[in-house]
Amino acid sequence: MEKNINYLIDYQCPQCGAPATLKETDRLFQCAFCKVKSYLVAKDYFRYLLPHKAPPDKELLYVPYWRFKGMMFSCLPSGIENRFLDTSKQAVSSELFPPSVGLRSQALKLSFINSDSEGWFIKPDLPFHRAIDTVISQGNTQRSGTILHQSLIGESLSLIYAPFYVTDRIMDAVLNEPVSPVLDDSFEKNRFSGGPASKSIRFISTLCPNCGWDLKGHRDALVLHCTNCKSMWRASKKEMTRINVAHMPIEDNKTTLFLPFWRIRANVTGIHLKTYEDLVGLANLPKAIQPGWDRIPMYFWGPAFKVRPRSFLRLTHHVTLTQPRNRLTPEMPEGEMHPVTLPLSESIQTVKLNIAGIIRPKKRIEECLDTLTVDPKRYLLVFLPFAVRHHDLVQTSFNIAVNRNQLALAGNL
């Protein structure tokens, strides 16, 4: 069982240089000193350094590790299994270095790689999916029987660079301990392709591109909103991009929390699933087909927030089967919104899983999952109102409850 590691990151305000500590999930940063806000984006992945205690005369050699944190779902003939995964794996294949970053990093503060970080940075030569395939197949060896489909729904994919230096052995520069046997004379550290560090993060302005107002959001929000012109924005590589948003209105906003869902329209091949009528048939819902249902488009729904894997799956299936389609207002809600913390790209990964969970009879999964392809076409971010109760959040129109604890805990996922 993997430990759930929450890294802390040493950070400096890009405006005034004041020190700060970030959580790994933080994106919107407001400096406690100069109050300037910035939104953090990675050029490709967030790249972190582990701090070192190497003797000052040693040249550092940084080895990259892929880090994945998220949910893993396995479709089996008997149903869908879930587990939470928090793991790291070498991004260069070399037996000289440890296979993973290991748990020691739990107590250490990371920092972002910057152009002034000293050392030789080995370039990753193992793509993420190859590294993670190894992790998955290691997990599968303890299992017997057919696995029809597996998907990883992550909210953290990053590179962690661990420092080493060379004496007559390779030394771990975090612990100052050897990790390799005595090296033979032929060892040259330059055989690893790489180079000096380069900047890995960018800052995007948090002013609304539409009206110039200050965008708002939680510190871990992937989508920010403008209270002035009622628009919502997500960071792309260089700028804020406007997103399509809607909500289901409710009369009493006071005791309501709006939870965000991604609604995805996708072309599916290998199975007939385009309309509401198709969905009722596929899921064998106890409903008599009504005229016109063959003209209502079918959408895939899924949480746009982090929640425990079991609840995630339940919400995905339940909301998709419900197909909320009436009374959607094409703007953001007025009431309190839960932050979007699961990106659209990850939600798209759930479509196959979504189909596998609703198809009846279950044995049909085996026939069709293999040949199924999913081509996402359109998306909408939809806020659904949930009544805030003592222990639960409840969507009364279609009888869905989410344990508040599950959402609170998910902040640490």
Which residues would be at the binding site for Zn ion (CB under 5 A)?
Answer: 13, 15-16, 18, 31, 33-34, 208, 210-211, 213, 226, 228-229
Burial group, residue 215, by CB count within 10 angstroms (0-12, 13-18, 19+): buried
Nearest distance from C-beta of residue 294 to Zn ion, angstroms: 40
User: Whole-number minimum distance, CB 198 to Zn ion, in Å?
Assistant: 23
Pick the closer one to Zn ion by CB: 246 or 279: 246
**Minimum CB–partner distance for residue 279 and Zn ion (Å):** 37
Q: Which is nearer to Zn ion, 183 or 207 (CB)?
A: 207
Rounded CA-CA distance 263/348 in Å is 10
3-state secondary structure 197-220: CCCCEEEECCECCCCCCECECCCC
Burial class (CB in 10 A: 0-12, 13-18, 19+), 76: middle
SS3 273: coil
Of 407, 383, 387, the closest CA to residue 396 belongs to: 387
Of 208 and 402, CB closest to Zn ion: 208
Do the beta carbons of residue 233 and residue 239 sit within 8 Å?
Answer: no
- Residue 337 CB: number of other CB atoms within 10 A? 22
**Cα(156)–Cα(347) distance, rounded to whole angstroms?**
14
Per the CB < 8 A criterion, the answer to whether 370 and 356 are in contact is no
Q: Measured from the CB atom, is 16 or 388 closer to Zn ion?
A: 16
177 beta partners: 172
Taking the least distance from each CB to Zn ion, the nearer of 18 and 147 is 18
In sign, the C-alpha dihedral spanning 263, 267, 270, 272 is positive
Q: In the complex, what is the shortest distance from the CB of residue 13 to Zn ion, in angstroms, rounded to a whole number?
A: 3
Smallest gap from Cβ 20 to Zn ion, in A, equals 8
Residue 242 or 327 with smaller CB distance to Zn ion? 242
Cα separations in angstroms, 173 against 2, 43, 167, 233, 273: 24, 27, 11, 41, 55
**Which residues on adjacent β-strands are paired with residue 407?**
none
- Of 232 and 319, the one with the shorter C-beta distance to Zn ion is 232
Pick 118 or 214: Cβ nearer Zn ion: 214
Complex with Zn ion: residue 33 or 398, whichever CB lies closer: 33
**Minimum CB–partner distance for residue 227 and Zn ion (Å):** 8
* Beta-carbon count within 10 A of 237 CB: 11
Going by C-alpha positions, the residue among 305, 341, 356 that lies closest to residue 81 is 356
Beta carbon of residue 214, minimum distance to Zn ion (angstroms, whole number): 9
Cβ 71 to Zn ion shortest distance, Å: 34
- Rounded Cα distance between 136 and 149, Å, is 12
Angle formed by the axes of helices 309-322 and 351-358, nearest 10°: 70
Closer residue to Zn ion (CB): 36 or 321 = 36
Q: Which tokens is 253 given?
A: 């906003």
Nearer to Zn ion, 187 or 213 (CB): 213
**Least CB distance from residue 199 to Zn ion, whole Å?**
18
Shortest spacing between CB 229 and Zn ion, in angstroms: 3
**CA angle, corner 400, sides to 219 and 325, nearest 5?**
90
Tell me the closest approach of the beta carbon of residue 225 to Zn ion, in angstroms. Answer: 9
